[in-house]
Chains A and B, each alone.
Chain A
């Protein structure tokens, strides 16, 4: 075993420990993000400081087991006090998190400076920043202790989520429903808090508390933007976390050298990488991304502009058949901005629905049919608003002008008992 472990180089151990920390954090992080408890990781990882100090004072050593027990108990206590302040004293969630973690952190600092713990290396800054670079100093059978601990935490987290998937899902999305169905949302809350405390404590010894906050929340947030399914969110979050961790290590080790610097903080580059992945997800997520939503909105605006043009031309045809509509008139009679109007006309010409000549624009036969559909929709909505929704007749036009783009003509027609004329006695064209 040690023979095998010795063959793995230092850099590879860094990568393994970083990736395991990332994977272990992403699982509880997804649920924290969904339960709107994102800052709980930040709170717990600051608040466990007095737990660590007390464990050190009582056990008189820096052995891992007492420290772990001390930290996890204080982590759970943190979650308990925050929840109690919120429920009993009605202190707002964010404020109660802020009160509890700053108080406990301050208690930890006072404990360090006033007791024998001050002689030992319990530097608060070190806890905040972590020291991934030193993980290989403490090994069992050639394997770094952090790798074993983080691997175990990852397996525990993964097993809990797999076996209690249904419970976690319902308690994340609807605790009220979960309670009425006989699940135990409060129990699940504290199970999640235990997972979070365990993960934070084990992970921040390796990677520092700020990176723990980043690994808990940022990959989960990116995954949440990419999919609507919980199981896929979890898998994606783990994948993004591991990817960011590996990319972060590569950047920290190789990129600064190109500019004449030595390697930089791995925890820092990893947190930055998670941020970059999130930025990409925000921009390019197929459903919730800024690009996709902008494109979708533009497409709708374009369709509305086209329908507005058709509607105006169709009304003109009713009054004066066959007469062309000058573009300036069109501009005045539609609310569409000039640039979008031009684009709409161009696309209508390309489809062969309107023709453009020197005296203006007129509908073709195909265009006339499409335009009558728009007019039908408009007048049916006018009828609906006047007769079903009881809107005063002089107020229906503006609203109908927006609703006509929703369509649903057949349903509206059925609802208004298939009228022939609208409230203004204008004929409603039949389906084309």
Chain B
């Protein structure tokens, strides 16, 4: 039993630091899973990839501007504001490219992602030359620092989680319409552009809040993988969003706990891999459109058809 006790300690949140990290990432996983469901159904899963990469020029730019005006560049609020602004501009650019050019959505995402990140690199190499910027800090902001998350981070994630959930719940009907038939919704007089903007704002909120806590790749994974996994179990949007939030939270809880026990495992990557396992299980055994259930369904239909043919003969 001795070997089990540290694992139980972690899973049951007995230590302060693991408690902060595990609760924080689980809340983030749930929120990302919730918002990600709408993004998946709107066929914009990879928008999160673009929006999260696009925060780099915002973070570096906010740092430079704050320093130039004599402020403290590494102020969390300043950096968050910069990230949010850059992310919003990037989202607007994706929309604008879609409206004014004949380029396709995937190209627009790749363009905005790479050009914004490239410009961010330029700004960052300037930041590194300033007196205060050389010390590490901005790197952690983009690539995450899960193990050292603080109580404040968890509170921030918690409030964002509540705010995003309230918006999703209040506008559930509108978001559902947007996801399943945007053209019909437009015809019915719903402000589609506004709703798309709102959905983008929710994604940006989750991204910006989560980015500095857990890093870029993990945020993308949490927004994309749990909804895709949940999709295999149900055709109902309500249960899909709940399940997706649940899978996100469970993956985060398990991943953070495992990396708490085996300290050599980085928590972000472990959480992603837990989500991947959840996805693989869903892909195979999902009751609605998993591979096994599809196979059984096909066999059953085949048998039924054969039986009917026999009967007709």
Contact = CB atoms under 8 A, between A and B. Distances in A.
Contacts of B121: 129, 210, 265, 267-268, 271
A378 interface: no
Contacts of B113: 42, 210, 213
A272 interface: yes
Chain A CB within 10 Å, residue with most, of B123, B124, B126? B126
A220 B217 CA distance: 26
A102 B225 contact: yes
Contact of B225 (A98, A270, A282): A98
Interface residues of A, number: 61
A85 B48 CA distance: 20
Given A103-B225, A105-B269, A271-B115, 14 more contacts: A33-B107, A36-B106, A95-B228, A98-B46, A102-B224, A103-B276, A110-B270, A114-B265, A225-B101, A225-B102, A268-B122, A270-B118, A272-B122, A275-B118
Contacts of B44: 94
Interface string B197-237: 00000000000000000000110110111011001100000
Contact of B268 (A91, A92, A106, A267): A106
B188 interface: no
A367 B11 CA distance: 88
B224 to A, nearest CB: 4
Interface in A238-280: 252, 256, 261-262, 264-265, 267-272, 274-275, 278
B118 A267 contact: yes
Interface of B, helix, strand, loop or mixed by DSSP:
helix
B118 A39 contact: no
Interface size class of B (residues with CB under 8 A): 35 or more
A92 B107 contact: no
Given A210-B53, A225-B103, A218 B114 contact: yes
A85 B107 CA distance: 21
A37 interface: yes
A95 B109 contact: no
A269 B121 CA distance: 8
B190 interface: no
Interface of A: 33, 36-39, 41-42, 46, 85, 88-99, 102-103, 105-107, 109-110, 113-114, 125, 129, 210-211, 213-214, 216-218, 220-221, 224-225, 252, 256, 261-262, 264-265, 267-272, 274-275, 278, 282, 288, 290
Contacts of A96: 228
Interface of A, helix, strand, loop or mixed by DSSP:
helix
Interface of B: 40, 43-46, 48-49, 53, 97, 100-104, 106-107, 109-111, 113-115, 117-126, 129, 139, 143, 217-218, 220-221, 223-225, 227-228, 231-232, 264-266, 268-270, 272-273, 275-276, 279, 283, 289, 291
A183 B44 CA distance: 32
B28 to A, nearest CB: 15
Contacts of B231: 91
B143 A125 contact: yes
Contacts of A252: 122
A288 B97 CA distance: 12
A161 B254 CA distance: 48
Contacts of B107: 33, 36, 38, 217, 220-221
Contacts of A109: 266, 268-269
A175 B289 CA distance: 27
A268 B56 CA distance: 12
Contacts of B265: 110, 113-114
A95 B224 contact: yes
Given A125-B143, A265-B121, A268-B120, A275 B224 contact: no
